[in-house]
Amino acid sequence: MRDVFVMGVGMIRFGKFPEVWMEELGRQAILGAVKDAGIDPKKLMVAYCGHSHQGRVAGQRALKQAGISGIEVVNVENACAGGSTSFRQAYLSVAGGLYDMALAVGMEKVGGGLLPPNPEDLDGLQGRVLPGHYAMKAVRHMYEYGTTPEQLAMVSVKSHKNASLNPLAQYQESVTLDQVLGSRMVADPLTLLQCCPTGDGAAAAILCSRKEAEQSGRPLIRVAGSVVRSGNFVGAGEDILASPLTRETSQNAYEMASVGPQDVDVCECHDAFTIGEILHYENLGFCPRGEGGRLIQDGATEITGTIPVNPSGGLLSKGHPLGATGIAQVVEIVRQLRGEAEKRQVETPRVGLTHTMGGAIPGLEAGACAVHIFVRD
């Protein structure tokens, strides 16, 4: 397997754009990545397009708007992990020597509001939607480890503060602890400002071989680890706070990259709900089980902390356009490792990690988990 590098990244501001077609969102992100890489788009010979609700041949439609045709295009559906999975496929195509350069793009246009469950999802049809599922996790974490409502809310405060420094975030205003706790209750104890918004957005990344990366003159950001896994079977009596999927996926990625959680300088994780981020601290290995609440309270995950998490604002504030999210995480980590994150720049990071979850399926822990690790060489 060859070394693979990220040569260029691009994304649009996330939000709600009822007047803009999905193809236009994708076009802007793709051309942004092409410009960042400084290449002729004709050098792209394969593209992987991650999305969840965009219908048939979505990638071809977006690439057409970007002036790119006559190449291999693969559309990737993997729920919220669609973008991350498209990145994984692009990585494999370059690592295996099939192509010297590949495009990974994630895009979604879903507006806002709750996404309806699949007709086959009996749990969802009976009311066990994701906010309720995560609320149960929050209540259990509070019961077992003494995690407080204030600690949960601190995640949202941090995310909104970071997003206020990110011109591409959907919500760019800071909030106070009282505002988070006082916002409308969605599923006790999770209030509105503790649940991520859906919306519209697109992000893209161009991956390449070492030769192409060195010729570009850009900082060398190597993809040191890339793992995607499906969820494990679960049954009655399972520990709802355990996440073997995230633990195993991240452990595989750490081993592939020859690093450990203690080496990660900056992380973008799947904070669909505040309790989700706290659990991810634990399951990604940043702290022992049960100590996620204390980690956020101690300021360790702030931009200036020992393990900055979601400096972009995360899903909670940057927004969550499903298929675009995983690539947007890559965009943030690449810019952090290059030193291009401006006001939200983490101090001299060398190792970055992205983590995305996708899909809720009764009987499985989740549909998919993707973890990518990046190193500045």
Spatial separation of the C-alpha atoms in residues 208 and 63, rounded to whole Å:
19
CATH topology for 122-193+225-376 is: Peroxisomal Thiolase; Chain A, domain 1 (3.40.47)
Amino acid at 308: P
Query: Annotated catalytic, 320?
Result: yes
pTM for this prediction? 0.95
Higher pLDDT, 303 or 365: 303
- DSSP letter for 217, please: T
pLDDT at 359: 84
Residues 55-70, mean pLDDT to the nearest whole number:
93
Spatial separation of the C-alpha atoms in residues 63 and 28, rounded to whole Å:
10
CATH class of 4-112+199-221: alpha beta
CB count within 10 Å of CB 137 equals 18
> Tens digit of pLDDT for each residue in 242-289?
889 999 999 999 999 999 999 999 999 999 999 999 999 999 999 999
Kindly tell me the burial class for residue 148, based on how many C-beta atoms sit within 10 Å of its own C-beta (0-12, 13-18, 19 or more): middle
pLDDT at 237: 65
**Where in the chain is CATH 3.40.47.10?**
4-112+199-221, 122-193+225-376
How wide is the angle at C-alpha 320 spanned by C-alphas 317 and 322, nearest 5°?
170
Return mean pLDDT, the chain: 94
Catalytic-role residue among 49, 51, 80, 160: 80
Spatial separation of the C-alpha atoms in residues 246 and 284, rounded to whole Å:
7
As a 3-state breakdown, the chain gives helix, strand, coil percent values, each rounded to 5, of: 40, 20, 40
Least confident of 16-20, 165-169, 207-211, 304-308: 16-20
Catalytic-role residue among 51, 160, 270, 320: 320
- Where b means 16+ CB within 10 Å and e means fewer, 345-355 reads bbeebebbbbb
pLDDT bucket at 118, cuts 50 / 70 / 90: low
Query: Annotated catalytic, 80?
Result: yes
Least confident of 72-81, 152-161, 235-244: 235-244
